[in-house]
Amino acid sequence: MIDKPDSAIYRVCVCEQTPGLLTSIFCRLPPAACRLPSTYRLPNPPLMRTPPIIASLLLSCLMNYVMAQPQPGVPGTAQGYPNRLVRVIVPFVPGGPTDVQGRWAAQQLSAALGQNFIVENRGGGGGVPGSDAVVRAAPDGYTLLAGNPGPLTVSPSVNAKMPYDTLRDLAPIFLIARTASCLCIHPSVPVKGVKDFVALAKAQPGKINYGSPGVGTVGHFATELFATQAGIKMNHVPYKGAAQYTVDLLAGHIEIAIIQFAGCAPLLQSGRLRAIGATSEKRTPLLPNLPTVAEQGLAGFVSYNWNGMLAPAKTPREVITRVHDVLSKQLASPEHRDAFVNQGHEVSGLGPDDYANFIRAEIDKWARVARAAGISKQ
């Protein structure tokens, strides 16, 4: 008989009359434990009347047939994916852009593939521990990562004890969107644009404070990139998140900080903050009158946060393709694209290979920034 247990490990047995040797080889059970269900009992099994060599060939063919059948749940097998719950790990606390876009992806995958894709938030450590949990998971498609540049492309330049290698240990699937930001200042700072700010900072070296979500984050490195290109020196004040430094910027405790478009737009409209430049390649539809930093003299200055889906390395290509195809189709719909654009995001849609190249370029970029700014690994 062929028994197909829940563990997806197949057993081949030939009733209790089978010689113990065959039982131990094909069943991995002691002879006494191998029993054929009563509905399948054969009083005089045909195999027992077959010459040994032919019987061996028959059993070999039977084993080959069994092993060729779909085996749901076995790592490395994509057939039938997904047939159980899938975890999407967000390496940050709930509420941020990575969480929002990770939940969007989970919802689309759940609806399209008929299985639950649940979001699991694992905040702390700049996103490195949560990302590492995915790296260490089985490469079977049942643990995915909502990726972010902090733990994947920036931290390698500041963390001397990274537990993983982004390019080696993760398989990119789909880049959902990029999100640029504004260089926001407190209204008391007497400047109107980037050139004025640079002149002020040069006249007061080391007296201007900037906030970031923490050491090794995109906010930290993007501001250092700005300072390096402008030839100025500012004091870094790290916080635990954008919400905290936004509060201090509004109160005037720091002079400047990078804030994503959707977060700063209402504050700019109310006059509580002022923006001196956008970090995007082109002007954003949310703030069409705000020139980019590059437009104002710092050629080539660009900085984006981004979010996408990744899996552990060696995840079957068929699984990666299936996840990619669902997200690509959903993101192509006007409804979803418009929703992202209205929130200040630039829809991307890069597939596995292009996403991998994008990550490689980002790692190189932030490594250059670290060297130029004198940021050493800790």
d(CA 320, CA 325): 9
d(CA 303, CA 280): 6
CATH fold group of domain 181-296: D-Maltodextrin-Binding Protein; domain 2 (3.40.190)
Quick check: do 86-179+305-373 and 181-296 share a fold? Answer: yes
Please tell me the predicted confidence (pLDDT) of residue 76. Answer: 41
Please tell me the predicted confidence (pLDDT) of residue 66. Answer: 38
d(CA 218, CA 145): 18
Half-sphere exposure of 202 (CA within 13 A, CB side): 10
Q: Are 228 and 369 in contact (CB under 8 A)?
A: yes
Short-list 142, 146, 139, CA closest to 121: 146
CATH fold group of domain 86-179+305-373: D-Maltodextrin-Binding Protein; domain 2 (3.40.190)
- Domain spans in the chain, listed from the N-terminal domain onward: 2-68, 86-179+305-373, 181-296
Q: Are 66 and 11 in contact (CB under 8 A)?
A: no
d(CA 214, CA 119): 24
Blockwise average pLDDT, block size 10, the chain, 378 residues: 38 36 36 40 43 48 42 52 97 86 97 97 89 98 96 93 97 96 96 96 94 88 95 92 89 95 91 96 90 95 95 97 97 94 90 97 95 87
